[in-house]
């Protein structure tokens, strides 16, 4: 009497057996675009420390970021950095977009953009009172 022994790897975190067959990939997004105020996006993309903070935070949730400043609608473009055939994708893929958006929102909430209308005379008074004449900020506001 012959008995056949079958051994399969079971992944408890994923709740299924690795059979060697490609698992049907769930429908979830691997690319997202997040609109950002043009001034804020420009500020973050030019500031090495802030850019590094955003990039490293997104790497922890398996996302790569591109700063799209020149389009009509400035935005952060996020792309999933996991291999599309990996077990990691099967585990993290369904929640990837939510996690990536949460990371971006947490970082962007630290910075706000406010436009304060100011008359040229007010600016000149503040400038002469607080800015030295050699400061690069010592210029009239653009109308």
- Is residue 136 located within the same domain as residue 98? no
Q: What is the pLDDT of residue 14?
A: 56
Taking residues 130-141, what's their average pLDDT? 58
SS3 sequence of the chain = CCCCCCCCEEECCCCEEECCCCCCCCCCCCEEEEECCHHHHHHHHHCHHHHHHHHHHHHCCCEEEEEECCCCCCEEEEEECCCCCCHHHHHHHHHHHHHHHHHHHHHHCCCCCCCCCCCHHHHHHHHHHHCCCCCCCCCCCCC
Q: Which domain holds residue 101?
A: 9-112
Q: What is the pLDDT of residue 19?
A: 58
Question: What is the count of structural domains for the chain?
Answer: 2
Which pair of structure tokens corresponds to residue 52?
């590094």
- Is residue 27 located within the same domain as residue 89? yes
Q: Tell me the per-residue pLDDT of 2-36, one tens digit each, with 9 for 90 and over.
A: 888 766 665 665 555 555 555 555 577 889 999 99
Q: What is the pLDDT of residue 63?
A: 94
Closest to 62 measured CA to CA, from 88, 44, 87: 88
Identify the burial level of 30 via C-beta atoms within 10 angstroms of its C-beta, where 0-12 means exposed, 13-18 middle and 19 or more buried.
Answer: middle
- Is residue 79 located within the same domain as residue 124? no
- Is residue 23 located within the same domain as residue 45? yes
- Is residue 38 located within the same domain as residue 85? yes
Q: Tell me the per-residue pLDDT of 118-131, one tens digit each, with 9 for 90 and over.
A: 788 887 887 787 77
- Is residue 121 located within the same domain as residue 108? no
The verdict on residue 27 lying in a domain is yes
The verdict on residue 41 lying in a domain is yes
The verdict on residue 1 lying in a domain is no
Cα 118 from Cα 8, distance rounded (Å): 71
Q: What is the pLDDT of residue 93?
A: 83
- Is residue 90 located within the same domain as residue 124? no
- Is residue 108 located within the same domain as residue 121? no
Q: What is the CATH number of the domain that holds 82?
A: 3.30.1370
């Amino acid at each position: 009497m012959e008995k056949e022994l079958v051994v399969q790897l079971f992944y408890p975190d994923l709740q299924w057996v690795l059979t060697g067959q490609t698992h049907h990939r769930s429908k979830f997004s691997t690319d997202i675009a997040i609109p950002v105020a043009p001034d804020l996006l420009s500020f973050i993309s030019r500031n090495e420390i802030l850019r590094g903070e955003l990039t490293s935070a997104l790497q922890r949730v398996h996302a790569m970021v591109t700063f799209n400043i020149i389009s009509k609608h400035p935005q952060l473009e996020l792309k999933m950095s996991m291999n599309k055939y990996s077990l990691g994708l099967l585990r993290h893929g369904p929640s990837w977009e939510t996690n990536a958006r949460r990371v971006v929102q947490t970082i962007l909430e630290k910075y706000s953009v406010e436009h304060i209308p100011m008359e040229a005379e007010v600016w000149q008074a503040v400038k002469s009172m607080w800015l030295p004449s050699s400061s690069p900020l010592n210029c009239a506001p653009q109308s």
